[in-house]
Amino acid sequence: MSNEFRELLKHVGSGSHTSRALTRAEAEAATGMMLTQTATPAQIGAFMIAHRIKRPTAEELAGTLDAYEALGPTLPAIADGRRALVLSCPYDGRSRTAPVTPITALVLAAAGVPVVLHGGDRMPTKAGIPLIELWGQLGVDLRPHTLEQAHTLLNRTGIGFVYLPQHFPTAHGLVPYRDQIGKRPPFATVELMWSPYAGPHTLVMGFVHPPTEDFAKGTFGLRGQTDWISVKGLEGSCDLARGRTAIVGVNRQGRFERLLLHPRDYGFEGDDVELGREASLGDRLRSVLAGHPSELHKTALWNAGFYLWQGGAAVSLAAGLAQAEDLLATGQALTQLEILRQQTAELRQTLTYSHS
């Protein structure tokens, strides 16, 4: 048993009258002891549930992110120095609505805007379909790459992926606790705010509940993260909804602006597309990339246009929507997928040779 961790656990788990928030340094230390499993399984599980009940503070979240930065992977900057978008979606995936995040990434890369994604496998408690499986259905296997190869892929294609089991195994080692405690711990919030990328970038954080955005404001302020976007997206993802007003927060160099984007104002109103059969998602996304009209195609345009605007490739949302339509209609986004598939296959072959 870790006596040091036991003292920190007592602070967060002593009840409403005697508990107290950890300092930033204490939160970093506690997170480090959980990641390295210096703390015992009983201590880790107790901390996760106690911290969830107490609710984390911005200072505690900043400390946890400090530990992630110290112990976790950092993807180096793209060689040409272009500013990237880091899309941070919930690791527990999607279970109700059809995701279009891979199409957004491909359109952005085709327009010259680098994209960094991160995530893991099926994650409790929702265990929805994660990004890694969506890419797999599109013929892109991002699981085996080393961090160096992920950086090579970013340089060659404009898309990088940090995969938790491969690149951050200590954090992956905490996943079973989520299943055992039956609730999403504050680590799930931290993942939305985590940027495993060293280059200049704007972090995009999906969220569901307004307090998460408030936590982000305080946490990013403490950590000096001046460029970030918060999106009240589908199932907390970075995907903007079409069935309701898109609620977005844009923070540029410390100045926060609230955007309320009405899909009907741009001709994109409609119901959000249901997930349907998971096994068919790859085919449906390929159909969108091929330019075939559908409700999912409209959802992809709505999202890609927004992110082209926010990524600096378009001067307005209207211009971004027109550019997204062109990149899909002319097959440039589909070509980007083929380039990504080719490059991942080449890197996988290189990895096979190095192990033989």
Q: On the CB side of 121, how many CA atoms lie within 13 Å of its CA?
A: 13
Give me the mean pLDDT over the 66-92 stretch: 97
The pLDDT mean for the chain works out to 95
Residues above pLDDT 90, as percent of the chain: 92
Do 155 and 256 lie in a common domain? yes
Q: Give the pLDDT score at 218.
A: 96
Do 22 and 167 lie in a common domain? no
Q: Give the pLDDT score at 19.
A: 78
Do 61 and 129 lie in a common domain? no
Tell me the residue range of the domain where 200 lies: 84-335
Do 17 and 128 lie in a common domain? no
Q: Give the pLDDT score at 132.
A: 98
pLDDT-derived band of residue 14, with 50, 70 and 90 as boundaries?
confident
**Residue 60 domain flag:** yes
Determine the Cα–Cα distance for residues 216 and 336; give it in Å rounded to an integer: 33
The answer to whether 99 and 134 are in contact (CB under 8 A) is yes
**Residue 343 domain flag:** no
Q: Give the pLDDT score at 202.
A: 98
**Residue 117 domain flag:** yes
Q: Give the pLDDT score at 112.
A: 98
**Residue 22 domain flag:** yes
Do 54 and 194 lie in a common domain? no
Do 284 and 327 lie in a common domain? yes
Give pLDDT tens digits for 181-238. Answer: 999 999 999 999 999 999 999 999 999 988 899 999 999 999 999 999 999 999 999 9
pLDDT-derived band of residue 315, with 50, 70 and 90 as boundaries?
very high
To which residue do tokens 């797999």 refer?
Answer: 136
pLDDT above 70: residue 146: yes
Q: Give the pLDDT score at 353.
A: 58
Q: Give the pLDDT score at 294.
A: 97
Q: What is the CATH number of the domain that holds 214?
A: 3.40.1030.10
**Residue 7 domain flag:** yes
Between 57 and 13, residue with greater pLDDT:
57
Judged by phi (left if over 0) then psi (alpha if -120 to 50, else beta), residue 45 lies in alpha
Q: Give the pLDDT score at 8.
A: 94
Number of domains in the chain: 2
In sequence order, what are the residues at sequence separation of 6 or more whose Cβ sits closer than 8 angstroms to the Cβ of residue 125? 92, 178, 179, 182, 183, 184
Give pLDDT tens digits for 284-300. Answer: 999 999 999 999 999 99
| Beta pairing class for 246-252 and 228-231 | antiparallel
Q: Give the pLDDT score at 17.
A: 67
Q: Give the pLDDT score at 348.
A: 85
Give pLDDT tens digits for 242-253. Answer: 999 999 999 998
Q: Give the pLDDT score at 18.
A: 72
Q: Give the pLDDT score at 319.
A: 98
Q: Give the pLDDT score at 296.
A: 98
Q: Give the pLDDT score at 349.
A: 84
Do 99 and 168 lie in a common domain? yes
**Residue 197 domain flag:** yes
pLDDT above 80: residue 15: no
Give me the mean pLDDT over the 71-85 stretch: 97
Q: Give the pLDDT score at 355.
A: 56
**Residue 57 domain flag:** yes
pLDDT above 60: residue 305: yes
Out of 71, 94, 113, a domain closes at 71
Question: What is the strand order of the sheet 159-163 is part of?
Answer: 159-163, 115-119, 84-88, 201-206, 228-231, 246-252, 255-261
Do 189 and 131 lie in a common domain? yes
pLDDT above 80: residue 159: yes
Of 18-22, 105-109, 131-135, 263-267, the least confident: 18-22
Give me the mean pLDDT over the 260-272 stretch: 97
**Residue 321 domain flag:** yes
Burial code of 286-307, b = ≥16 C-beta within 10 A, e = fewer? bebbeeeeeebbbbbbbbbbbb
